[in-house]
Structure 1
Amino acid sequence: MIYRLVGETAMVVHFLVLVYMAFGGFLAWRWPRAIWPHAAIAAWGLISVTTGVECPLTIVENWGRHNAGLEGLRPSGFIDHYIEGVVYPEEYTTAVRWAVAAVVLSSWAGFVLLRRRARTPREDEAVSGTR
């Protein structure tokens, strides 16, 4: 029972990490310090996609599933097991990866623009000469 719980918890956390990877940069628009954990998660995602290194959450999920007597994930990993062919057809993998990259870059661009706007004096302050 506990092993299955470990595996299922790892699966849920993995889904949350993927959502945060794609959309977490938008949280930094409201909470600027959120950009650092998002940058770390996005960097991990980039490393994982480009090198094929296995995610620690996949390892934990497989460990829990195997010890619970269940079948592990496909050797290709979490995304191939739960998302590709389920959420979108496998032939769209490259397009989906580029779309996620565009969303991440858009969130970061918005973050930079908002930070610059917050640092520059307002027009009414510049006109009156006060700061």
Structure 2
Amino acid sequence: MGWRLLADVMFVLHAAFLLFFVVGGFLAWRWPKVVWAHLAVVVWSLAIVLIDYDCPLTGAEKYFLRRGGEDVYPRGYISHYLDGTIWPEGAAPTAEKVGFALIVISYVGFLVLRSRRRSRVASVKSPT
């Protein structure tokens, strides 16, 4: 039972990682320091997609499932849990593109908000 619990923990951590991947840039609008953690997640995710290697989080979940004597799903986390559930079967490449587009949008918004904040601070500091 302990191995299954660890596999479930990895499942939840992976889901949180992917959720942060999608919304982290928008969270940085409110909490700007979040952008650094989000940038690390984006680089990690981009490397996984471009180099096409297995995510270590998936590997850890599968390891714990195996140790617990359970069957391991043959594909990756996204293919197994999200493809055909969150979006139509086979649309994972499109979902990846949408995810990365949301990141670009969130970063543009982050930079616009940051610029506005700096302008406001500069106008408050300079006497008119």
Superposition TM-score, scaled by structure 1 size? 0.89
Q: Which of these two proteins has the greater Rg computed from alpha carbons? A: 1
Partner of 2:29 in structure 1?
Answer: 29
Partner of 1:130 in structure 2?
Answer: 127
Matched, 1:78 2:68: no
Work out the CA distance in 2 between the residues paired with 1:85 and 1:77.
Answer: 13
> Does the CA-based 8 Å contact 2:3-2:68 persist in structure 1?
yes
Residues 10-29 of structure 1: pairs in structure 2 closer than 5 A: 10-29=10-29
What is the identity, as a one-letter code, of the residue corresponding to 1:130? P
Q: CA RMSD in A?
A: 1.9
Partner SS state of residue 90, structure 2: helix
Partner of 2:68 in structure 1?
Answer: 68
Work out the CA distance in 2 between the residues paired with 1:48 and 1:123.
Answer: 41
Displacement, 1:44?
0.9
Q: Would the alpha carbon gap of residues 49 and 125 (structure 1) be closer, same or farther in structure 2, given more than 3 Å must change? A: same
Displacement, 1:94?
2.4
Identity %: 33
Displacement, 1:62?
0.7
Matched, 1:113 2:112: yes
Work out the CA distance in 1 between the residues paired with 2:93 and 2:110.
Answer: 26
Q: Would the alpha carbon gap of residues 5 and 116 (structure 1) be closer, same or farther in structure 2, given more than 3 Å must change? A: same
Residues 2-17 of structure 1: pairs in structure 2 closer than 5 A: 2-17=2-17
> Does the CA-based 8 Å contact 2:79-2:92 persist in structure 1?
no
Write out the 4+ residue segments of structure 1 that deviate beyond 6 Å after TM superposition: none
> Does the CA-based 8 Å contact 2:48-2:55 persist in structure 1?
yes
Partner SS state of residue 70, structure 2: coil
> Does the CA-based 8 Å contact 2:3-2:64 persist in structure 1?
yes
Superposition TM-score, scaled by structure 2 size? 0.91
The number of equivalent residue pairs is 128
